[in-house]
Every structure is written in C-alpha cells, then in structure tokens.
C-alpha cells in the first residue's frame, strides 16, 4: 500500500487558541471571539505590529494576515484585537501533537500550528478520508478548536490540500487530482511562491499553477534560477525531498526554523516568532541534557536572500530566556529592514548540562531561571503542559 500523508493545520490557530482559553477561564465576557471581527497581533494600545491571525468575520472586511494592525482597524473600526501569548499557544500545540501520537508513531511538526503524519489505518475507518474526519472531529470535541486535514501521497500535496476551503474540513489532493483541484488556483497559492516570485511569473504571463506546470522549466529557471526549478516541480506535484525539514538536530547542534506565511516587516512581530523558536530549542536542549555554547540566528527574506549571524555564550546555557535574549540581539545586528519570510535559531558547541563551568560574569538570576526551566519541564512532563503556568504567562481576563 502506498504511503499516505496527512497535513494537519489548525484553523486561525492563534485566534482559536485564544478563544478557547478565554472560554475556559470564564468571567463576565465569554463571547467566542471566533464569531466576531477579531484579530491577534500587535500592540493593542498603540495599534502597532501586524495581524497574526483573524476570525472569519474579520476576513469578510478584507482583513488579511500580515497587514499592519492600523490598516485592519481602518477596514473595520469595531474590530477587537488581542495580544499574542506564544507560551499559551505552545501548550495547545503540544496537546494536539500528543493526541495525534495516539494515531501514528510518525509525526513531524512543521510549525507551532501544523504537522505531518503518516496515516496508519484506524479501526472502523474504511478509508484515509474517514480516518481524517475522525481525527479532526476528536480534536474539535476534545481540545475545542478546529483543523483542516489535507491528504495525499507526499508532503507537498498534503499541505496544498489542507489549504483548500476552511474551516474544519478534510480534503484530498492525490496526483491524479492535480489538474482538476490545483492547477486552476492562482500562482500565489502554490507553496513557496512569494510576492516577488509571483510578480516575475505574472510578467511571463503565468497566472495559475497550471500555467506554471505547463511552461518549459528552462524558461522558469532562466528567470528564477534554482528556485524556479523547485516551484515548477511543485506545480507538477513533484517533491524531490520532503518539505518537513525545518526542525533540525544532529550531533553538532539543535535548532528550529519557521517559514512565515506573510512578510514580517517589524521587529515586534519577528520577536514573537523568535520566542516560539527559543522555547522549542531550549526545551529540546534540556530534554537531551545539553547546554549550548553558541547561538545563531538565520533570516530568509521575501527575495530568498539569506543571512545568518552567530555569537558565543560566556557560559553554555539551555535557558529559554538566555537563548531568546541572545537571538533578539543577533537579530538586531543582522536584520537589514527587508521583509522576512523565515526565521531560525540554531545552537551549537553543545556540552553536557550536568557539569557547568561558572564565569565571574554570570548573572545569578540566570542560574535561578535555569533551575526554574528544569522544574517546569519536570512538572509538565508528569502532569501535562497546562499543570503549571509562569506568572508572566498569566493574562488578565478580557
């Protein structure tokens, strides 16, 4: 039997998770913010930053992910805005992954709100489509939020399928369905085709994914170089290497990166994503009883230009705050102000965290923070991610 891949994608993840948490906490205002024009993103009081997630009612006003918050309020003055809480989102993400592991031993997390899963036949499900419906319904009924699930024979097509009509739906995109389901879509809908690439393709008269698929690849490569070959293959459903390779670990380092679905053009939004990455990387370091002596940050711009910068730590660390602070400093030194589509944090020069060489420059508070990180990891591993919450994670009820 040919391998079947599921791509599970949370619908409006940040907004959905915020809505679920608000309802759990109760209080005078338990309105489900998914049912009103609402967004997650930016500084609420100053209306800075960009839209990280939007409700379906907000979408009806033309509000799009990645646009400035101030522009969103111009489109919808009665819009409600809520600050992001990435530690909260990490807990909901882990809860979903834990549930999915009951169905398959092969789970590959692609970002905080999406993952790939190799399908294992489910008792009582006559097909992968029926199995996917069971899984999505259980996520909705157990965890309180909805997902789309895309199904295919490779990661690329499964991811494309999950982006079809939303929310709370299952879609297939098998190779023989590509001409009917994928080729009529606008070129911007193809995975890895950003604003810059789409503009160049449209100048060549390529407006749909089908147009790209049926164009001589030599023409595409002459204008977009190696990236042109990649997206031509994607337009034809060809995946030469799995796309779920953003999480990296080898003997020399531990790291993670995230491709962002919109152009990030302000520091505040970039730092939100760096916090997600720092949480992920530091947790994995602690799981392997390792401390990092080097931290590096990677940026990929919307033009596909890349840049990276690294620095050594005076004392090897696996503390979340240390890695995050270092990553932000590196980002400030590296970023040239252009639109960002990928951010990554990687740690190297790893050593055992059981033996620590103290420095006269060590901040005593950092040692306390490291002990706190280990204590929280232990408690959450035993009792679940939501069993204990840092004071900094608590939000006042809206």
Start-to-end CA span in the chain (Å): 51
| Beta-strand relationship, 38-40 and 80-82 | parallel
Residue 47 CA to residue 68 CA, distance in Å, equals 8
Cβ-contact 169, 193 below 8 angstroms: no
| C-alpha span between 303 and 292 (Å, rounded) | 31
Q: Which of 67, 114, 239, 298 is catalytic?
A: 114
Order across the sheet with 53-54: list the strands.
53-54, 38-40, 80-82
Other CB atoms closer than 10 Å to residue 159's CB: what's the count? 22
What span, in angstroms and rounded, lies between the C-alpha atoms of 22 and 10? Answer: 18
Pairing of strands 170-172, 290-301: unpaired
114 is catalytic: yes
Active site residues: 114
């Amino acid at each position: 039997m040919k391998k079947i891949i599921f791509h599970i994608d949370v619908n409006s993840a940040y907004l959905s998770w915020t809505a679920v948490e608000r309802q759990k906490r109760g209080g005078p205002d338990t309105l489900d913010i998914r049912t009103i024009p609402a967004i997650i993103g930016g500084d609420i009081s100053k209306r800075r930053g960009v839209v990280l997630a939007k409700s379906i009612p907000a979408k009806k006003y033309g509000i799009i992910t990645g646009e400035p918050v101030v522009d969103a309020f111009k489109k919808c003055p009665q819009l409600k805005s809520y600050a992001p809480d990435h530690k909260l989102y990490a807990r909901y993400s882990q809860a979903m992954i834990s549930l999915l592991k009951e169905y398959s031993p092969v789970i590959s997390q692609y970002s905080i709100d999406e993952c790939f899963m190799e399908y294992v036949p489910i008792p009582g499900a006559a097909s992968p489509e029926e199995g996917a419906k069971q899984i999505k319904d259980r996520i909705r009924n157990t965890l309180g939020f909805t997902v789309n699930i895309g199904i295919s024979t490779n990661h690329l097509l499964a991811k494309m399928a999950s982006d079809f009509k939303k929310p709370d739906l299952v879609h297939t995109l098998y190779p023989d369905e590509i001409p009917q389901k994928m080729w009529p879509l606008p070129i911007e809908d193809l995975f890895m085709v950003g604003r810059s690439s789409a503009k160049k393709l449209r100048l060549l008269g390529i407006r749909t994914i089908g147009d790209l698929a049926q164009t001589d690849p030599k023409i595409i490569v002459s204008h977009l170089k190696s990236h042109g070959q990649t997206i031509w293959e994607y337009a034809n459903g060809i995946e030469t290497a799995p796309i779920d390779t953003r999480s990296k670990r080898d003997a020399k380092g531990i790291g993670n990166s995230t491709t962002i679905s919109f152009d990030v053009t302000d520091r505040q939004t970039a730092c939100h994503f760096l916090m997600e990455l720092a949480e992920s990387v530091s947790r994995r370091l602690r799981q392997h009883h390792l401390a990092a002596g080097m931290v590096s940050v990677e940026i990929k711009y919307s033009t596909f230009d890349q840049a990276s910068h690294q620095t050594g730590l005076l004392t090897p660390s696996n503390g979340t705050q240390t890695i995050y602070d270092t990553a932000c400093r590196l980002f400030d030194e590296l970023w040239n102000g252009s639109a960002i589509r990928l951010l990554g944090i990687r740690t190297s020069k790893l050593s055992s965290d059981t033996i620590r060489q103290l420095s006269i420059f060590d901040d005593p508070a950092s040692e306390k923070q490291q002990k706190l990180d280990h204590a929280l990891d232990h408690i959450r591993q035993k009792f679940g991610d939501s069993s204990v919450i840092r004071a900094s994670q608590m939000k006042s009820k809206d």
